Chain A
Amino acid sequence: MSDATINHGGTGPRNAASVPAGPGVKEAGFGDYVALLKPRVMSLVVFTALVGLLVAPVGVHPFVGMSAILFIALGAGASGALNMWWDADIDAVMKRTQGRPVPAGLVEPGEALAVGLALSGIAVVMLALASNLLAAGLLAFTIFFYAVVYSMWLKRSTPQNIVIGGAAGAFPPMIGWAVATGGVGIESLLMFAIIFMWTPPHFWALALFMKEDYHKAGVPMLTVTHGRPATRTHILVYTVLLVPFAIGAGFTSIGGPVYLALSAMLNLGFLIGAWRIWRRDEAMAEADGYRVEKQVFRFSLYYLFLHFAAFLVEAALRSPAGGV
């Protein structure tokens, strides 16, 4: 936004009524600043961080827990704003991201940077005050990893961007666990590993049927640099590597029979999907409009959500009120 878009005084050549109204007006509303924070990504962060907090063996005061989740979400949103500041040029090229506030001209890049930096500081300091220094340190590292390591460095330089950058999305349950326990455990590391290993097949399935976007933007996605058959192989390999982490979590203190039964079914489904993607070639995919790739992408969303929901169910069953 800019004050140049409107003249407040009555003495200038333009008064407010002369400024064109409607969709052409480049004046950001509050919602545009909220959109900078990538609310959809924040919802996943809130959910996984909440699970990490609730399944931990140590309880926290509900108000402290709620505040901690809020500041974790704020930190994730801040890193989203920093990402939008840095990636404004490629966001403007890709159809999926053209409507974001910066490429749409609603928010100036400098404002996105200021919002990102200010909220990062507030989120980390407030999380330290609300919970502990380890949780705040992990949040600060997550923001740094997403904004600097992923957005500024890896995204435009290597086709492994999704693999390493996926770590940023994997930290929230670890932070939630650290809020409750003040430490890191095998359980929180496995929750990290599940999201970390899940991210590549999830995004590569998306990249297979959103190929034009990444290609136009010049982002070195695996589909662009190594070709689509190699991407299909990578999806299968990473899905196979994901399985032991997902099943293994069921044998720790946060798992149990409900989790194991659900995880076995979900992993079988994901493996079959990855196998079907691997067996196909481009001609088959083009012929049915990437039906299998789209199915696996959708399934992967349920896969992650249901795994973390199962952790919650196990925690509820373990609690004094939920046990038998």
Chain B
Amino acid sequence: MSFRTEHEIHRRRFGRNLGVGLTLVAFIAIVFGLTVVKVTNVGPIQGFDHVVRPELMPAEEGGN
């Protein structure tokens, strides 16, 4: 049983809502992707405070 007649305006509003929804999903994906890239490419940091830990640097060979 149909409660409401489907109308052109409903179709446009649905399209608009779908567009906004997909845009938000894409935005979340981009922020997540950027976070992964930044965290994995930033070098010798520890995850809990993002502070550089010299002790995590590879030991220098030789030297004087």
A129 is an interface residue with CB less than 8 A from chain B = yes
In the complex the two chains form, is A16's CB within 8 Å of B9's CB?
yes
| Interface flag for A22 (CB, 8 Å) | yes
A67 sits at the interface (CB 8 A): yes
Partner of B8, one of A22, A31, A63: A22
Verify A64–B37 contact, CB threshold 8 A.
yes
Q: Does B53 contact A (CB under 8 A)?
A: no
The interface residues of chain B lying within 8 Å CB-to-CB of A19 are 7, 9
Q: Is A321 an interface residue (CB 8 A)?
A: no
Asked if residues A16 and B19 are in contact (CB atoms below 8 Å), the reply is no
Q: Which residues of B contact A67 (CB under 8 A)?
A: 30, 33-34
Stretch at the interface among B10-18, B44-52, B54-62: B10-18
B41 at interface (Cβ–Cβ under 8 A)?
yes
Chain A: residues with Cβ within 8 Å of the partner, total of 25
* B5 part of interface (Cβ distance < 8 Å): yes
Number of interface residues of B (CB under 8 A): 20
Main secondary structure of the interface of B (DSSP, over half): helix
Interfacial residues of chain A within 244-294, with CB under 8 A of chain B in the complex: none
Do A29 and B7 form a contact, CB below 8 Å, given A61-B37, A64-B34? no
Q: Give A56-76 interface residues, CB cut-off 8 Å to B.
A: 61, 63-64, 67, 70
User: Which of B4, B7, B34 touches A63 (beta carbons < 8 Å)?
Assistant: B34
* CA distance in complex: A275, B32 (Å): 54
Chain B 16-44 interface mask (CB, 8 Å, partner A; 1/0): 10111000000000110110011001000
Shortest CB distance B41–A (Å): 6
**B35 nearest CB across to chain A (Å):** 9
Is A28 a contact of B5 with CB atoms below 8 Å? no
Chain A hits for B31, CB < 8 A = 126
Contacts of B41 in A (CB 8 A): 61
Contact between B15 and A30, CB atoms less than 8 A apart: yes
CB distance from B18 to the nearest CB of A (A): 7
Q: Does A219 contact B (CB under 8 A)?
A: no
- The CA-CA distance from A21 to B16 in the complex, in Å, is 17
User: Is A27 an interface residue when CB atoms closer than 8 A count as contact?
Assistant: yes
Q: What 1/0 flags go to A32-49 for Cβ under 8 Å of B? A: 011000000000000000
Residue of B nearest to A122 (CB): B27
CA A21 – CA B5 in complex, angstroms? 12
- By beta carbon, the residue of chain A nearest B33 is A63
- Identify which of B7, B18, B34 contacts A21 (C-beta below 8 A): B7
A-B contact pairs, 13 of them (CB 8 A): A15-B4, A19-B7, A19-B9, A21-B7, A22-B8, A27-B12, A30-B15, A30-B19, A31-B15, A33-B19, A61-B41, A64-B34, A67-B33
- Write the residues of chain A forming the contact surface with B, with a CB cutoff of 8 angstroms: 5-6, 10, 15-17, 19, 21-22, 25, 27-31, 33-34, 61, 63-64, 67, 70, 126, 129-130
6 extra interchain contacts, Cβ-Cβ under 8 A, other than A33-B16, A64-B38, A129-B34? Answer: A19-B7, A19-B9, A30-B16, A64-B37, A67-B33, A70-B30
